[in-house]
């Protein structure tokens, strides 16, 4: 092999869950205690761009640069992704001796996010999805998005949903090896092109309690959690998929808001309690309630992940009543905004 550099790039989108993943039955493989469902809107354009390369000329260790800063790749999650992808490449090389032995070369990964990292905007989801697909492209693996979702899940649970666009489910699965715990597309984005999301950036700071630590404490201490995982979420998964299929925004919105509330209720029911919402988050909830009350039906739906930032879903036809009102109320401030101006910065005071 010469000192050639082999390279491939990809992007992966942030996904925002409308039925939340919270709780692991296997923390090593990131196997969840319930299925979940997310929406990826390309118009919101929150993405990780990743280039994976390998070369005999590189120093003899794997490296990962995220937004210009060197990251530790020795963690079990990153190592699991590297190991699985190298093993698939090794199989290809075993079948075809003419292929360059890329599986033996050090990897250099360079990633850039166009949104605040670890601010409850699912940065690890887009990050691991892009990392896995970039390496799979580099290795020219014939893997399907489903196969890649199985690998990305081991990097970060929610990452499996970022391998698909549009409306994406993550089937919790039953197998102990996680082979059936994969993402699937419920509908492409084009199925419901009127869907819009606005992100209210309440805080771009790193979250106080990491998702992994938070969810393990919830599983261990919350009595609300068991009912959520075994009863509430399975019912909602069905209802939500039906609502998406028939483009029923009122049901979509109601389940989205109720599931966000249920997730944050189990956080509060965790001991010691976990608070992700703050006063601005609660003001956003009241705004949505007021918008819906004025409309006489649900035209806006909020959801919050492991942080105070709100994502508000609405349909294009209600742009003025929803996004217009939020922008007017919160004021457009300097600071981070989505590339198409669809995120607004709010003050925490
Ligand atoms: C979700 N969240 O479904 C939920 C809602 C946060 C609240 O997935 O430990 O970063 O890497 O598997 O995927 C955040 O959890 O956790 C998350 P790990 P992850 O989007």
**50 part of a folded domain:** yes
Q: What's the chain's average pLDDT?
A: 91
Q: How many domains does the chain have?
A: 2
Token pair of 58 as six digits: 């590189």
Are residues 253 and 104 located together in one domain of the fold?
A: no
- What CATH number corresponds to the domain at position 208? 3.30.70.890
The pLDDT > 70 percentage for the chain reads 90
Report whether residue 236 contacts ligand 1, using a CB cutoff of 6 Å: no
Report whether residue 185 contacts ligand 1, using a CB cutoff of 6 Å: no
Are residues 233 and 106 located together in one domain of the fold?
A: no
The SS3 of residue 159 is helix
The residues, any chain, with a CB within 8 Å of residue 322's CB and separated by 6 or more, are 196, 198, 291, 299, 300, 312, 314
Judge whether residue 256 has pLDDT over 70.
yes
Judge whether residue 43 has pLDDT over 70.
no
CA of 348 to the centre of ligand 1 (A): 24
Domain extent for 187: 6-191
Query: What are 236-255's pLDDT values in tens digits?
Result: 999 999 999 999 999 999 99
Residue of the CA atom closest to atom 14 of ligand 1:
211
Report whether residue 156 contacts ligand 1, using a CB cutoff of 6 Å: yes
Are residues 43 and 109 located together in one domain of the fold?
A: yes
Report whether residue 306 contacts ligand 1, using a CB cutoff of 6 Å: yes
- pTM of model > 0.90: yes
Query: What are 131-188's pLDDT values in tens digits?
Result: 999 999 999 999 999 999 999 999 999 999 999 999 999 999 999 999 999 999 999 9
Concatenating the DSSP letter of every residue in 60-115 gives SS-EEEETTEEE---SHHHHHHHHHHHHHHHHHHHH-TTS--GGGSPEEEEEEESS
Of the candidates 138, 170, 191, which is a domain's last residue? 191
Q: Where are the alpha helices (DSSP H) in the chain?
A: 76-95, 123-138, 145-155, 211-221, 223-227, 233-245, 249-268, 279-295, 319, 325-330
Concatenating the DSSP letter of every residue in 122-149 gives -HHHHHHHHHHHHHHHHTT----HHHHH
pLDDT value at residue 336: 33
Are residues 252 and 317 located together in one domain of the fold?
A: yes
Of the candidates 171, 191, 211, which is a domain's last residue? 191
Are residues 271 and 331 located together in one domain of the fold?
A: yes
Q: Is the peptide bond before 272 cis (omega within 30 degrees of 0)?
A: yes
Quick check: ipTM above 0.85? Answer: yes
**1 part of a folded domain:** no
Are residues 41 and 163 located together in one domain of the fold?
A: yes
Q: Report CA torsion sign: 131, 135, 138, 142.
A: negative
Are residues 177 and 219 located together in one domain of the fold?
A: no
Are residues 185 and 296 located together in one domain of the fold?
A: no
Residue of 214, 305, 307, 311 best suited for mutating to test ligand 1, as the one with most atoms within 8 Å of CB: 305
Residue of the CA atom closest to atom 8 of ligand 1:
158
Residue of 77, 124, 155, 157 best suited for mutating to test ligand 1, as the one with most atoms within 8 Å of CB: 157
Of the candidates 127, 161, 191, which is a domain's last residue? 191
Residue 80 falls in which region: left (phi positive, over 0), alpha (psi -120 to 50) or beta: alpha
Asked whether 20 and 26 are in contact (CB, 8 A), the reply is no
Are residues 340 and 267 located together in one domain of the fold?
A: yes
Mean pLDDT value across residues 199-217: 81
Are residues 24 and 123 located together in one domain of the fold?
A: yes
Report whether residue 305 contacts ligand 1, using a CB cutoff of 6 Å: yes
Are residues 113 and 258 located together in one domain of the fold?
A: no
Report whether residue 311 contacts ligand 1, using a CB cutoff of 6 Å: no
CA of 211 to the centre of ligand 1 (A): 6
Residue of the CA atom closest to atom 9 of ligand 1:
212
Are residues 138 and 215 located together in one domain of the fold?
A: no
The residues, any chain, with a CB within 8 Å of residue 238's CB and separated by 6 or more, are none
- Which of 86-95, 226-235, 333-342 is the least confident region? 333-342
CA of 22 to the centre of ligand 1 (A): 7
């Amino acid at each position: 092999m010469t000192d050639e550099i082999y390279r491939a790039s990809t992007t992966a989108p942030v996904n925002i869950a409308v039925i939340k993943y919270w709780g692991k039955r296997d923390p090593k493989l990131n196997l969840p205690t319930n299925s979940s469902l997310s929406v990826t809107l390309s118009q919101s354009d929150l993405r990780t761009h990743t280039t994976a390369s390998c070369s005999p000329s590189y120093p003899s260790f794997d490296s990962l640069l995220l937004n210009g800063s060197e990251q530790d790749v020795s963690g079990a999650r990153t190592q699991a992704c590297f190991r699985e992808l190298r093993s698939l490449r090794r199989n290809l090389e075993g079948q075809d001796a003419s292929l360059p032995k890329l599986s033996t070369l050090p990897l250099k990964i360079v990633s850039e996010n166009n949104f605040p990292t670890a601010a409850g905007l699912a940065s690890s989801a887009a990050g691991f999805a892009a990392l896995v697909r970039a390496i799979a492209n580099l290795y020219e693996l014939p893997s399907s998005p489903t196969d890649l979702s199985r690998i990305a899940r081991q990097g970060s649970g929610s990452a499996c949903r970022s391998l698909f666009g549009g409306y994406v489910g993550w089937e919790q699965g039953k197998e102990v090896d996680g082979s059936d715990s994969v993402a699937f597309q419920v509908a492409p984005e084009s199925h419901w092109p009127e869907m819009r999301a606005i992100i209210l950036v309440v805080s771009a700071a790193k979250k106080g309690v990491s998702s992994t630590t938070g969810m393990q404490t919830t599983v261990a201490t919350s009595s609300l959690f068991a009912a959520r995982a075994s009863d509430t979420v399975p019912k909602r998964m069905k209802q939500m998929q039906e609502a998406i299929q028939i483009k029923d925004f009122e049901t979509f919105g109601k389940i989205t808001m109720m599931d966000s509330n249920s997730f944050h209720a189990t956080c509060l029911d965790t001991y010691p309690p976990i608070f992700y919402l703050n006063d601005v988050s609660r003001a956003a909830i009241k705004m949505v309630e007021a918008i819906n009350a004025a409309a006489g039906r649900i035209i806006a739906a909020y959801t919050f992940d492991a942080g105070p930032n709100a994502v508000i879903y609405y349909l294009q036809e209600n742009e003025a009543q929803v996004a217009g009102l939020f922008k007017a109320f919160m004021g457009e401030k300097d600071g981070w905004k989505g590339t198409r101006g669809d995120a607004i910065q709010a003050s925490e005071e």
